[in-house]
Structure 1
Amino acid sequence: MHTVAVLALDGVIPFDLSTPIEVFSRTRLPDGRAAYRVRVCAPVREVDAGVFTLRAHWGLDALAEADTIVLPGCADPTVPVPVEVTDALRRAAASGTRIASICAGAFVFAATGLLDGMRATTHWIGAPLLARMHPGIEVDPDVLYVDNGQFLTSAGAAAGLDLCLHMIRRDHGSAVAADAARLSVMPLEREGGQAQFIVHEQPPAPAGATLEPLLRWMEENASRELTLADIADHAGMSPRTINRRFREQTGTTPLQWLHRARIRQAQHLLETTAHPVDRIATQVGFGSSTSFRDRFKRQVGTSPYAYRRAFRGGERIA
């Protein structure tokens, strides 16, 4: 039987902790036998989980006996990870143990150095901090999970469930994983990635930046088919100069900034109106619904229809 060790540290997020326990404990093989043995391990006997105190039956030595170790998220990812924890995880990795993290558990994982040189993910809110704290990791904030083979990372709490189902499918095939998904009232695969949940704010201009009036004008006129020449004329600059000023003050180009403004407006309309997608494409300034759908998919990670279905609900809307 495959042994899964769930590592609990002080500040552990209860949902992140319970997800692997629930999913792996309930997974059954075709003949009805349990597919996994689950153990909650901790460096101390009692762990503070915020709303309750957890008493762990197994210590760090149990990690050496596990086939898979799951690292749930902790409330404060900046808290230093105990040396005995990182050492135990490194020893387990050296022996071939699979290690997976949920949400901010990626910070615990990253502290071991095992993710250096690899692609990884975490909750989109924490992704910039993870990238700053561990520049050796290629942090991808758009995906639900990343599978590097022995080492896996997932985004927020719900994405931890996606990752658990993915590992079950790797271990025992799609049929067993599909049964586990049905017990969790969860699709085996969700459409899109984490990008659809990210709040795409515009790159801010520094306080007092000379572009502030122009940015307001562009926001108000995003529905027009503005060209770089139109923007430069309004600003009283040449296209070359306006491009340089934009990069200096916003880190992007005028047209990229404008497209982000349009996509943000489209997201609002998809969430709050029943307008057809073709009408929204025109309303926010895209020349065609095809170009709108393509750009929306590239930036948000899913289609306009799927985004509306996820974030509006209620009646069916074209």
Structure 2
Amino acid sequence: MPNTVTHRSTPGPPLKLALLLYPGCMPAGLFAAADMVRAANLRSQTTLIEIAWVGVDRQPVPTWQGPALTPNLAVEHANADAVLVPGLWLSSPEGVDASLTLLAPVVQALRALPRQTALWSYCAGVALAAGSGRLKHQRATATWWLRAPLEQQFPGVHWCFDEPLVTGPRATTAAGANGYLPLMLQVLAARMAPQALKDLQELLMLPRPRTVHPAFAGHDLMTTTQPELRRAMLWVQQNPASGLTLPQLADALGVSPRTLARRVQQHAGMPAAQWMRRIKLRQASEALCDTALPLKRIAADLGYASEAGLHRAFTQATGQTPLAYRMAHGVR
């Protein structure tokens, strides 16, 4: 599938990626994605991904406070393996419903895509993907402040707002205005050797993740190039904290627990069990920083046995209570 995380040892046919333009979209992420693809193709000395700029039709599309851009193709004629849906400007969560009404032709075009076409979206663009019905009965994430309207309007989606990136066989969603970055890194990690991907991360002028507490440094997808460890991190993010065990993770990856423990120790410099706990605590730290959710709700969302257990583990790892951490690093 287009969004698998298993690295290809030999290049297959180029993936055909359509970058969707629609009225009021914020196209910066599309341009950045196109730059990443261009650099990946040059670094690999082969065409890994082919880009096409598409719209509902071929008419010029007015972007948010920017120029009108003209698609090369209508999305229905792109014959794409995947369509990337960028975000749009929303001044408040209440704007989701009005935007979906205004952009009904875009939603309909996404709904009409062939079943085998993967849909990738990030930030508020996830609302369009959800509106198309393509996320129904699937796991998905989106920007945290859209939680209430998305849960209300699309109860058939298995929302995972505590995860920055959620991949599936037919859809991939990412949170945040820069959500295209972990999304595209995930796609490229499936098609490039780890060293080549690392070169891209170091040489391209990519947005960097915000400064995090030293306890969580190196525990995110954006800084991890090894495909197996990226798969491991996704698995840990998607499973409840109280149920994390090394044998289960090793089984999910198809390796022995001993092999996995050795690779995690080499990569992270800590035992695998501690590494898994830190990944979950990083998720907790992001929820503390980006939302006003009470610690009890965060603990429940991430699968901790109790609020007290999360409080104790977080304080031990960071030297700060969750409340102190939120006061120091969280949104105002």
- For the aligned pair, the TM-score class normalised by the smaller chain equals 0.5 to 0.7
One-letter identity of the residue aligned with 1:36: I
CA gap of 1:172–1:97, structure 2 versus 1, over 3 A, is farther
CA gap of 1:134–1:291, structure 2 versus 1, over 3 A, is closer
Aligned residue in 2 for 1:200: 292
Aligned residue in 2 for 1:188: 223
**Where does 1:18-167 land on structure 2 (aligned, <5 Å)?**
18-28=31-41, 31-44=44-57, 45-61=59-75, 64-76=78-90, 77-78=96-97, 79=99, 80=101, 82-94=103-115, 96-167=116-187
How much does 1:201 deviate? 5.1
How much does 1:30 deviate? 5.4
Q: Distance in 2 between matches of 1:57 and 1:70?
A: 14
Runs of 5+ unmatched residues, structure 1: 203-254, 261-285, 313-318
CA gap of 1:19–1:122, structure 2 versus 1, over 3 A, is farther
Q: Distance in 2 between matches of 1:85 and 1:291?
A: 42
Aligned residue in 2 for 1:234: none
Residue 174 (1) aligns with residue 194 (2):
yes
The question of whether the paired residues in 1 share the 8 Å contact of 2:21 and 2:27 is answered with no
Q: Distance in 2 between matches of 1:199 and 1:36?
A: 36
How much does 1:292 deviate? 4.0
The question of whether the paired residues in 2 share the 8 Å contact of 1:293 and 1:303 is answered with no
Q: Distance in 1 between matches of 2:310 and 2:160?
A: 25
Where relative contact order (Cα < 8 A, 6+ residues apart) is larger, the structure is 2
Bigger Rg, structure 1 or 2: 1
Please tell me the root mean square deviation across aligned C-alpha atoms, in Å: 3.5
Query: What secondary structure does 1:146 align onto?
Result: strand
Paired residues, number: 224
Query: What secondary structure does 2:106 align onto?
Result: helix
CA gap of 1:139–1:28, structure 2 versus 1, over 3 A, is same
Query: What secondary structure does 2:200 align onto?
Result: helix
Runs of 5+ unmatched residues, structure 2: 1-13, 91-95, 209-221, 225-232, 234-278, 300-306
One-letter identity of the residue aligned with 2:110: L
How much does 1:65 deviate? 1.6
The question of whether the paired residues in 2 share the 8 Å contact of 1:5 and 1:68 is answered with yes
Query: What secondary structure does 2:109 align onto?
Result: helix
One-letter identity of the residue aligned with 1:200: A
| TM superposition score normalised by structure 1 | 0.59
How much does 1:37 deviate? 2.2
Query: What secondary structure does 2:287 align onto?
Result: helix
The question of whether the paired residues in 2 share the 8 Å contact of 1:9 and 1:74 is answered with no
One-letter identity of the residue aligned with 2:109: A
